[in-house]
Each structure stands twice: as C-alpha cells, then as structure tokens.
Amino acid sequence: MKVIITGANGQLGRSLIKTKPEYIRVITTKKQNFNLLSKESIHKYIEKEKPDWIINCGAYTNVDKAEEEKKLAYEINANGPKEISRVLKNIGGNLLHISTDFVFDGKNNEPYKTYNIKNPINFYGYSKSIGEDNVLDILKDSSQAIVIRTSWLMGPEGNNFASKMIKLHLDKYEINVVSDQIGSPTISGSLAKACWQAIRESDSSNFNNKDNPILHWTNNGIASWYDVAFSVGEICKRIGVLDKTAVINPIKSIDYPTKAKRPHYSVLDTAATKLSLNLSSNHWLFDLEKDLHKIKNENN
C-alpha cells in the first residue's frame, strides 16, 4: 500500500514514519514538488504517485501569527486540503486529514463529541474548520475521507510545548504558565498509532468512513498547561534530563495576553473513536515519560 505523508518533517510526520506497518510504502513530500500553496503542484504530484492514502499532517500551526497572516493560513489549512480532495475524487485514493480541538470555542463543560457544533474563536481554528468542511464536502459521500481531530500535540521531536518547557526549566528560575486552559495532551506516537489503525480498519471494511468521517484522538486524562509544565520538570529531574527545575507559577489567561484567543476547555471525547478503531490509549503522563526517556537517551 502506498501512503503519501505531507508535513513529514513535523512531529506527527516523524512518528508516522517510525511506526509505519511493514506493508506500508511511505512517500514523503518535499516543498519543491508538493506545496500546499500551489494547486498545480498538488494535482501534479498526486496524479503522478496515485497513492492509496494521503495522511495530511501539513498545516499552518502558528496560532498567534495566523491572526496576522490570515491569507497564508487559509491557503494552507483550508484550500490545500480542498485541492488534495479534488484530485483524490478524480483519481481514487483516500485522505486522512489531521485537524484540531481549536475548531471549538471552549465553552463546553464536558468533552466535545465529534458531532458537536464548531465555533472557532481564532483564525487558526477557523481555517482548520473550513479545511475539514472542504474535505468532507468533496469526499464524504464516496467514503474517501477520515478527519482526525487531536489536541495539545507533543513528542520527543520537533517544536512543541514539552520541548519548550525543558529549555525554560534549564534557562529560567521562574516560569509563568497558564492554568485555566484545560485540554488533553496527545503524544505524537499515540496519534500515529491511531492514524495507522484508522487506515487499517477502513481498508478492512470494519470502519465506515461515510457514517463516521470524523474521529477524535488524544491520550487519556486532562490537564492545564500548568500541569504539563510542572510534570515535564518533575519527570525530567527524576530521570536525569534536568539537574534543577524552575519554579512554576500558575497564572490566568487574562494575565498572559496573546494575539489569538484560546478555548478555555477543549477536551475531546474519544470514546466513540476507541470503539470504532478497537484501540485504547495510555494516560498522557505515561507516554510523556516514555518520550522524555527517549530525549535522555538521545542526548547521552
């Protein structure tokens, strides 16, 4: 089976490559021949490769900068997936599209289900929401698409909250971290496993893309950014990645103004996805510690 991975150099892309099943032949895109800003390159590349699946990890992910670079974010996050979908509609093949908890406004008091109404409160979330709509408008009726929403992605590679916290623990005596934004951390390896399982189940006809086109996947457990920052420090100190930890001060979002608003509560309900895929997930602390051990081993 031939699978194209866009955004292969990102943290999810790297995890997908490392965890791919043996029967999968992965093709990674390069900007010079596949660019989400170029309709021509998208069509030409996919028509040439004729993949069985595309996993679209490529995205504009700078949430604050998206408020200034709206056109760029929209082209990558909304129009890029639309063009991928158009090609696949014509030549065959399937799309697994990665989306985000930021399509919701964060006003819920219980985990968001896949069918809850979207209402993004920043432009990044809006662009990703339109990207979902474009994919499903084109491919849902032909059962060629799966959208997986995830949240708070972090792992042993790439630029993410955990890696930033390690650096801050090294460099700072005190760190102020928001404590009133609640979500479910997702370790990149866990999400990669869910992606491959979704493809496997879909190809074996155990999973109906048309009736269940949207999935939610995160690790178990919920946390604030403060909880994650504190846990990263404590685990890293215990396993020898850090000699000392910074003092973590919990602050409110109002005391840490950003260009883009963030949802205060964006926990995703993953129960239906686990049932559909016959897959379980670990608590985020368990998988985070495994990844922090990997960082330690790579630095030794």
Question: What does the pLDDT look like over 79-115, one tens digit per residue?
Answer: 999 999 999 999 999 999 999 999 999 999 899 999 9
Q: Which of 60, 112, 124, 126 is catalytic?
A: 124
Decide if 248 is inside a domain: no
Decide if 245 is inside a domain: no
pLDDT tens figures, 221-273: 999 999 999 999 999 999 999 999 999 999 999 999 999 999 999 999 999 99
Q: Mean of the pLDDT values across residues 109-122?
A: 97
Decide if 25 is inside a domain: yes
Q: Which residues contact 222 (CB under 8 A, 6 or more apart)?
A: 182, 183, 184, 267
Mean pLDDT, the chain, whole residue set: 94
Decide if 80 is inside a domain: yes
Decide if 87 is inside a domain: yes
Residue 208 has pLDDT above 90, yes or no: no
Q: pTM to 2 decimals?
A: 0.95
Decide if 196 is inside a domain: yes
Alpha-carbon torsion 269, 273, 278, 282, what sign?
A: negative
Tokens at 249, concatenated: 């001060």
CA torsion angle 277 192 99 276 (round to 10):
0
**pLDDT in the model for residue 8:** 93
CATH of the domain at 88: 3.40.50.720
Decide if 237 is inside a domain: no
**pLDDT in the model for residue 300:** 57
Domain with 271 in it: 2-155+186-220+267-282
Q: Is 106 exposed, middle or buried (0-12, 13-18, 19+ CB in 10 A)?
A: buried
Reduced to 3 states (helix: H, G, I; strand: E, B; else coil), residue 223 is strand
**pLDDT in the model for residue 19:** 95
Q: How, if at all, do strands 186-187 and 94-100 pair?
A: unpaired
pLDDT tens figures, 125-181: 999 999 999 999 999 999 999 999 999 999 887 789 999 999 999 999 999 999 999
Total residues found in the chain within this entry = 300
Does the active-site annotation cover 124?
A: yes
pLDDT band, very low/low/confident/very high, at 295 (cuts 50, 70, 90):
confident
Decide if 28 is inside a domain: yes
Residue 299 has pLDDT above 70, yes or no: no
Query: b/e string for 67-100 if b means 16 or more Cβ within 10 A?
Result: beeeeebbbbbbbbbbbbbbbbbeeebbbbbbbb
The count of domains in the chain is 1
